Structure 1
Amino acid sequence: MTTQDDPTGAGTPLVLANAKLVLVDRIVLGSLVVRDGRIEAVEESGAAVPAGALDLGGDYLIPGLVDLHTDHFEKHIFPRFHVRWDYVRAALAHDAQIIGGGVTTVFDSLAVGNAEGDSRRSEILKPMIDALERATAGGMLRAQHLVHLRCEVIDPKTPALVQEVIDHPLVRIASVMEHLPGIRQTRDLEGYIARMADIRDQGVETTRDQVMAMIAEKSEIGRKVRPEVVALAKARGLPLLSHDDTDIAHVDLAADEGVAISEFPCSLEAAREARLRGMATVGGAPNILRGQSQSGNVAMKELMDEGLLDILASDYVPRSMLDAAFLITDSTDFAEDLPAAIRMVAKAPAEAAGLADRGEITAGRRADLVHIGLFEGHPFPKMIWREGIRVA
């Protein structure tokens, strides 16, 4: 991407005026000045439009959103289960959806290791990172794409896979996850056993004893692999997340390991323990919009009602963060104001990821900005800038 934010080439700054500026703690009608990719000044100037300024017509101007977790890149690699798409083309399609949701910094959450014997995720890991690197170098991506390693600790191959990619400059955060039936996200063990009993491979059905033996075997693998993955991430100073904490013991294990963020807690008890242990909590924006978890776990509204939710991530719907931020502002079911809601999708995730240069409209920050229109309560981006360059 180019770095030229001055269309005149004569040092003239970009001025955005007559906008409802959503600051970290309030909304003001005014303008801001952008120079060399940074916010130079924020002015409470009312509806005045200086000569040469861009008139935003009284619409909202918010900081570019920061998404700590989206699985969506993988979906573009496999648009159908048996179809594998070109990696760079998939990255471009993914980027279009990301920027369309007002996200200017995204952590593409790439699975490392496999939970149920599907080797495809291991095969595509490095090519996906390479494609992001190539597309970034070629100026093809409108959002800034970084990598979140989602490390499946019940796969014995995970540490080697992590070692292969963890030193790549795009890799910035890591999480540890354990996808086993009866544990964390998938707590309905009996339902899982019933489903497996109905699946026959060459006439052999999966029995309860086989399922229980598999759980015991993979749990033992997890107890060995998890410390290795945590050590690899900590040695490189990467922020660490613990995925799908459900029991108090899950949170305490993570906190004792030095993990700072509980990602998608599955129960109110886990979220409460995370707060007691000084951990930040990430929730799924789709959960807010649907009013419930897609897995039957705790609703994010319950966490918000107790002040236990710090950050929203898009998870599996790229534009859900933008929709959720405005929903919790407008809906009588929630008590958040817009600055607080925007903090959850911009400043808070940026700080959690160690990106203190963005996520807030204030002098000195990166000029990652989104001009928002509203129609029938639906927010939609009209213009988007990244480091002062209009990208949409």
Structure 2
Amino acid sequence: MTQDTILANAKLVLPTEVVTGHVVLRDGLISEIGTGTSVPAGALDCEGDFLAPGLIELHTDNLERHISPRPKVPWPHGPAILAHDRELAGTGITTVFDAMRVGSIPSGKGRYLKYARELSSEMLALRAQGVLKISHFLHLRAEICSETLTDELAEFTPDDRVGIVSLMDHTPGQRQFRDIDKMKAYVMGKNNLTEDEFAAHVEKLQDLQDRLGAKHEAAAVAEAGRLGAVLASHDDTTSDQVTTSARHGVAVAEFPTTVEAAEMCRDKDIAIIMGAPNLVRGGSHSGNVAAKDLAKRDLLDILSSDYVPAALLMSAVQLGNMWGDMARGIATVTRTPAKSVGLEDRGAIAVGKRADLVRFAQMDGGAVAREVFSLGRQVA
């Protein structure tokens, strides 16, 4: 017989409210929800901690950090994937869309080499072996300014669990890198380029945009449709860019850089994703719009940990406190991202949903994950 897991005496973060009660987990699903502070025999006493749906991460570069822990230092992919998987589980993330760059620049200094097809195949193999703690999907970051985008996209099929394809245009002088000086500090530091090498890098990217930008953008939009993936934009800055995104069928806008772009996203019914590190730090490291300012304007729908997995829970709790509505804050990392990518089986504490849960407590204005469950099994 299946043995139930009961989590009791918890502040349950439901879709629109927080109530004290318990949940019963059975066969990987939530089978019962009740209210009150009682702790049945054999139940886990959550001691008044919050119990929320497992967090859903739509865009994280964290896996890239594990496969290359230092510049030009490769790490074996299998151990890197496992370390990444366990790190995310420990922060309360139970569903992740792992961002992998497609579109390389194999020539010249500061080059970017192809890796996504090989890495994703290894990810899928580990998933098939049952050794991953949480649920993994792919997020293909389609680099418009590249030499190989169309060939790399063609290597993926609808069986590869590609959930998101995002349109990435890092041409210097626009979007994220409108400020060339900020791009210069970032790129030169990351790739150890000289002044002349950086200038050549900028010239090369601008040339790639001139020659291949329109072709690559159209190809990425088409490939998202072939793969059955949600289409995302990235770093929209102007109303015109958002209008173009809407015309392509973009459903989510990652990290719009201005209030103007975010307001147009709202007008076009495009969900707005902002970076959790931006919110936690109080501003953008690239000098773009602050997530907190968009939150105050009701122009923030979803949070992404981006490059700091632990920031996802911290920022959602921060939003809950800012808005005076913890259920609303937690929804930015659970129910709303699930809805935006068509995952109807998770993202809420409700009967019949996946038993993906995180027990957490607030500490010094932040939050700490105490226990994490994926399909009813404790993973952290």
2:226 and 2:277 map into 1 onto residues whose CA distance is 33
Q: Per-residue deviation at 1:217? A: 4.3
Contact in 2 for aligned 1:87/1:127 (Cα 8 Å) = no
The DSSP-based 3-state class of the residue aligned with 1:105 is: strand
- Equivalent residue number for residue 185 of structure 1: 176
The superposition leaves residues 252-286 of structure 1 with CA deviations (integer Å, 9 ceiling, x where unpaired) of 11101111111110111000011111111111000
1:202 and 1:81 map into 2 onto residues whose CA distance is 12
The superposition leaves residues 193-216 of structure 1 with CA deviations (integer Å, 9 ceiling, x where unpaired) of 89999xxx9999369799567525
| Equivalences for residues 88-103 of structure 1 within 5 A | 88-103=78-93
The superposition leaves residues 69-117 of structure 1 with CA deviations (integer Å, 9 ceiling, x where unpaired) of 0001011111121221110100011112111110000111001113695
Q: Does 1:136 align with 2:91?
A: no
- Equivalent residue number for residue 67 of structure 1: 57
Contact in 1 for aligned 2:323/2:329 (Cα 8 Å) = no
Distance 1:114 1:298, change over 3 A: farther
2:235 and 2:242 map into 1 onto residues whose CA distance is 10
Q: Does 1:260 align with 2:251?
A: yes
- Equivalent residue number for residue 38 of structure 2: 48
Q: Per-residue deviation at 1:391? A: 1.2
| Equivalences for residues 201-212 of structure 1 within 5 A | 205=196, 211=202
TM-score normalised to the size of structure 2? 0.92
The DSSP-based 3-state class of the residue aligned with 1:374 is: strand
2:330 and 2:198 map into 1 onto residues whose CA distance is 48
Q: Does 1:360 align with 2:348?
A: yes
Q: Does 1:326 align with 2:311?
A: no
2:253 and 2:312 map into 1 onto residues whose CA distance is 18
2:14 and 2:271 map into 1 onto residues whose CA distance is 22
Q: Per-residue deviation at 1:377? A: 3.4
RMSD (CA atoms): 2.6
- Equivalent residue number for residue 336 of structure 2: 348
2:82 and 2:150 map into 1 onto residues whose CA distance is 29
Q: Per-residue deviation at 1:56? A: 1.2
Distance 1:85 1:120, change over 3 A: farther
Which of residues 7, 13, 33 in structure 1 aligns to 2:4? Answer: 13
Q: Which is higher, the Rg of structure 1 or of structure 2?
A: 1
- Equivalent residue number for residue 339 of structure 1: 327
The DSSP-based 3-state class of the residue aligned with 2:125 is: helix
Percent identical: 39
Q: Per-residue deviation at 1:371? A: 1.2
Unmatched runs of 5 consecutive residues or more in structure 2? none
Q: Does 1:226 align with 2:214?
A: no
- Equivalent residue number for residue 95 of structure 2: 105
Q: Per-residue deviation at 1:250? A: 1.1
Q: Does 1:31 align with 2:19?
A: no
Q: Does 1:274 align with 2:262?
A: no
The DSSP-based 3-state class of the residue aligned with 2:323 is: coil
Contact in 2 for aligned 1:115/1:179 (Cα 8 Å) = no
User: After alignment, is 366-375 or 25-34 more displaced?
Assistant: 366-375
- Equivalent residue number for residue 138 of structure 2: 147
The DSSP-based 3-state class of the residue aligned with 1:303 is: helix
- Equivalent residue number for residue 359 of structure 2: 371
The DSSP-based 3-state class of the residue aligned with 2:303 is: strand
1:375 and 1:245 map into 2 onto residues whose CA distance is 35
- Equivalent residue number for residue 377 of structure 2: 389
The superposition leaves residues 213-253 of structure 1 with CA deviations (integer Å, 9 ceiling, x where unpaired) of 75254233111110011011113321010011011111111
2:82 and 2:234 map into 1 onto residues whose CA distance is 27
Distance 1:210 1:284, change over 3 A: closer
The DSSP-based 3-state class of the residue aligned with 1:174 is: strand
Contact in 2 for aligned 1:87/1:128 (Cα 8 Å) = yes
Q: Per-residue deviation at 1:367? A: 0.5
Q: Which residue type is aligned with residue 352 of structure 1? A: S
1:245 and 1:340 map into 2 onto residues whose CA distance is 25
1:195 and 1:366 map into 2 onto residues whose CA distance is 40
| Equivalences for residues 296-311 of structure 1 within 5 A | 296-311=287-302
1:38 and 1:169 map into 2 onto residues whose CA distance is 25
User: After alignment, is 205-214 or 274-283 more displaced?
Assistant: 205-214
Q: Per-residue deviation at 1:301? A: 1.2
The DSSP-based 3-state class of the residue aligned with 2:158 is: coil
Q: Which residue type is aligned with residue 388 of structure 1? A: G
Contact in 1 for aligned 2:146/2:208 (Cα 8 Å) = no
